[in-house]
């Protein structure tokens, strides 16, 4: 007799979660454009800072 395995809901953990008092911010997936923007901004800032 074949057994059926029940699939339980396995929610993925959020990529970012911030809880501060009554504020609760959850980001499930960080968009690629945001990672690109942060990388470019940090790289440009580091280049500017080291060239001063």
In the numeric block, the tokens 């997936």 are attached to 29
Dihedral sign of CA atoms 7, 8, 9, 11 in order: negative
Res. 2: pLDDT tops 90: no
Question: What is the structure's pLDDT at 26?
Answer: 93
Retrieve residue 3's tokens: 């057994």
Retrieve residue 21's tokens: 């008092």
5-51: pLDDT as tens digits: 666 666 788 998 999 999 999 999 999 999 999 999 999 999 999 99
Question: What is the structure's pLDDT at 36?
Answer: 97
Q: What are the structural domain ranges in the chain?
A: 16-46
Res. 3: pLDDT tops 70: no
Buried b (16+ CB within 10 A) or exposed e, 40-51: eeeeeeeeeeee
């Amino acid at each position: 007799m074949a057994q059926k395995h029940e699939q339980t809901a396995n929610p993925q953990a959020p990529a970012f979660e911030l809880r501060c008092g009554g504020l609760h911010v959850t980001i499930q997936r960080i968009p690629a454009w945001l990672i690109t923007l942060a990388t470019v901004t940090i790289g440009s800032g580091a280049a500017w800072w080291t060239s001063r």
